[in-house]
Amino acid sequence: MTTFAELTTMAVSEAEAEILAPATREELAETYRSLVDSGESFLIIAGGSNTVVSDDGFAGQVLRIVTRGLEFEDANGHVLVRAEAGESWTNLVARTVADGLSGIEALAGIPGSVGAAPVQNIGAYGQELSDVLTRIELLDADTGEVEWVDASELGLGYRTSVLKRGERRGLVLRVELRLARVAGDADAVPGAPVRYAQLAKALNVEIGDRVDVAAQQEAVLRLRAGKGMVLDASDPDTRSSGSFFMNPIVRHEFARELPYEAPKFDAGEDENGEKLTKLSAAWLIDHSGVKRGFALPNSGAAISSKHTLAITNHNGATAEEVVELARYVRARVQQEFGVLLIPEPNLIGLEV
């Protein structure tokens, strides 16, 4: 049988998984309904890039999302792209860039599946899925019905949604994106604006300059690879779940008390109109004394040698060794700066 180590990019937990892998959208919907109706616990996995499972495994069935398919529709100067939940996100970005479409080129190299993208509201280098997501096809867990749900109803925020928060239960079957055509058309915009300082520096341009989407994709992939954030079977620094902690969002007044050199970004306001600031989790970890390559004694888990935000399965780590290191990192940051880091991956049978 297949182990959870084989199903996840962190590659921990040799416990065996009981897998269901329906091949079509219709079969997937029927299998999901059956699992919900059974009342038994089950786990959903697609690319496995945002999941860490306990060494004891999971006491239930695993619904593996493998459905594939893309549709493209011209729509008033834009292109609507509908992608099945099991499509590789990396492959989707590559296809849209090759077709001269803009909106997700800065999200190149993010591992995982299309169906997981709106749950997490993935984002990087100045782009977020919420910028281009129009709607999702959702199988509602409570009604058993399949319906298209507008993006405005998903409560999308920084790495969150109503689905992630549990405010609505269901399975994403397809997503629909509205992308701009920036190549291959006489009326198209000659490139997409660069929105992120690090990306602009890599391209040797200014923020706001228009740059070919393929050039932006390539630059993003280089930047991510330099941080160990592009999967590479030969590189143990990429045996991870990507960023292990989210960038904290705190009250503006609290952020002012942190060291001047700590990176701080405007994060809007909360429901009470209080100003919020986003901090850099990587900076907080590094300046709490946890450096790149750090590992606890006799542990197979380590901080990436390329980027402090990734915890890696560097040398045959167990799931418990991964979370033990995560606990240590979080304790150091909280002790040094009073900030409690929140894990980004789904931890199954584990606590940080």
Examine the pLDDT at 115 and tell me if it is beyond 60.
yes
pLDDT at 117 over 70: yes
What average pLDDT does the segment 63-67 reach?
97
Residue 186: pLDDT above 70? no
| Residue 243 among the catalytic residues | yes
Domain boundaries, the chain: 4-64, 70-226, 236-348
Assigned CATH class of 4-64:
alpha beta
Position 271 scores a pLDDT of: 86
Stretch 260-287: mean pLDDT:
95
Residue 126 has pLDDT above 80, yes or no: yes
DSSP one-letter string for 177-197: EEEEE-SSSTTS-SSEE---H
Q: How confident is the model at residue 184 (pLDDT cuts 50, 70, 90)?
A: low
pLDDT at 266 > cutoff 80: yes
Sorted by sequence, the CB contacts under 8 Å of residue 19 that are 6+ apart come out as 1, 2, 7, 61, 62, 64
Confidence of residue 77 (pLDDT cuts 50, 70, 90): confident
> What percentage of the chain has pLDDT greater than the value 70?
98
Q: What is the pLDDT at residue 233?
A: 82
User: Is 292 designated active site?
Assistant: no
pLDDT, mean of residues 24-38: 97
Distances in Å between the Cα of 247 and the Cα atoms of 12, 154, 161, 285 are 24, 21, 16, 11
Residue 275: per-residue pLDDT: 96
pLDDT mean over 336-341: 98
- Fold classification of 236-348 is 3.90.78
Instruction: Give yes or no for residue 240 having a pLDDT over 60.
Output: yes
Task: Please give the average per-residue pLDDT across 205-231, as a whole number.
Answer: 93
Residue 188 banded pLDDT, cuts 50, 70, 90: low
From 64, 135, 159, 332, active-site residue: 159
pTM for the model stands at 0.90
Across the chain, mean pLDDT equals 95
Alpha helix locations (H) across the chain?
A: 4-7, 25-38, 89-98, 117-120, 197-203, 213-226, 252-256, 281-287, 319-337
User: What pLDDT score does 185 carry?
Assistant: 59
**Assigned CATH for 70-226:** 3.30.465.10
- Residue 166: pLDDT band (50, 70, 90) is very high
Q: Which residue has the tokens 């004694």?
A: 297
- The stretch 211-238 carries a mean pLDDT of 92
Identical topology for domains 4-64 and 70-226:
no
* Catalytic residue (one of 243, 288, 330, 332): 243
- With a cut of 80, say whether residue 36 has pLDDT above it: yes
Is 6 known to be catalytic? Answer: no
The reported pLDDT for the residue numbered 239 is 95
- Alpha-carbon dihedral sign for residues 116, 122, 124, 128: positive
Please say if the pLDDT value at position 60 is more than 80.
Answer: yes
For residue 1, name the pLDDT band (cuts at 50, 70, 90): confident
